[in-house]
Chains A and B, each alone.
Chain A
């Protein structure tokens, strides 16, 4: 089966600093990736996505980088705020796009 994993289970950053959350995936044929944010007791919320024909995509305060050579995905959050504290998941799609495989998540804590 697919394997999606995160390098660090927890990350603590000072408010205002930039955060980088990493993710490794195993299926070189995966063509779509999503980052989700999940607050305690709630469902995941979409943050940003990227297709395999791109290396970088930017949103509001967030950037996703995709390195297909080493099958690595990262999420960068600029000027991290207390409201960014949550668990962040990466997910990769199967070839058909019908199934997603999720990593275990990284817990981000922002220190005021």
Chain B
């Protein structure tokens, strides 16, 4: 059953703690992406990776970090430096190399109090 999985679906953390969100894909896609979605707003790009061991900052990378050690995995860490971490986080992947369509995971809703 191919696709993108994100876990957990809901995540709660105390302010000041780092938290890592999981994203795994078995589509053999080269490119992976992390977006943040706030109520009533569109998706904003945090980080993206076109290939293993390489990633670039998106529009709102401050307070976040990523790694891409394996093709199928692209974890996102929300650090204590992120001022407003409570949001819905979406991971996506695409085949890359001219194939633009992005496939999205189910999302993780992070609440920081």
Instruction: Tell me, in angstroms, the Cα distance from A9 to B41 when the chains sit together.
Output: 10
Interface residues in A35-63 (C-beta closer than 8 Å to B): 36, 41-46, 49
Instruction: Tell me, in angstroms, the Cα distance from A69 to B17 when the chains sit together.
Output: 49
The size of the chain B interface, using a CB distance under 8 A, is: 27
The yes or no answer to B98 lying at the interface (CB within 8 A) is yes
A89 touches B90 (CB 8 A): no
Q: Closest CB of chain B to A40's CB: distance in Å?
A: 11
The size of the chain A interface, using a CB distance under 8 A, is: 25
Contact with A along B58-83 (1 / 0, CB 8 A): 11000000000000000000000000
Interface residues in A78-112 (C-beta closer than 8 Å to B): 89, 91, 93, 97-105
Which of B35, B42, B104 lies at the interface centre, i.e. has the most chain A CB atoms within 10 A of its CB? B42
Instruction: Tell me, in angstroms, the Cα distance from A12 to B7 when the chains sit together.
Output: 34
B101 touches A46 (CB 8 A): yes
A99 touches B106 (CB 8 A): no
Q: Closest CB of chain B to A90's CB: distance in Å?
A: 9
B48 touches A99 (CB 8 A): yes
The yes or no answer to A77 lying at the interface (CB within 8 A) is no
Instruction: Tell me, in angstroms, the Cα distance from A100 to B90 when the chains sit together.
Output: 13
User: A36, A41, A104: which contacts B107 (Cβ < 8 A)?
Assistant: A41
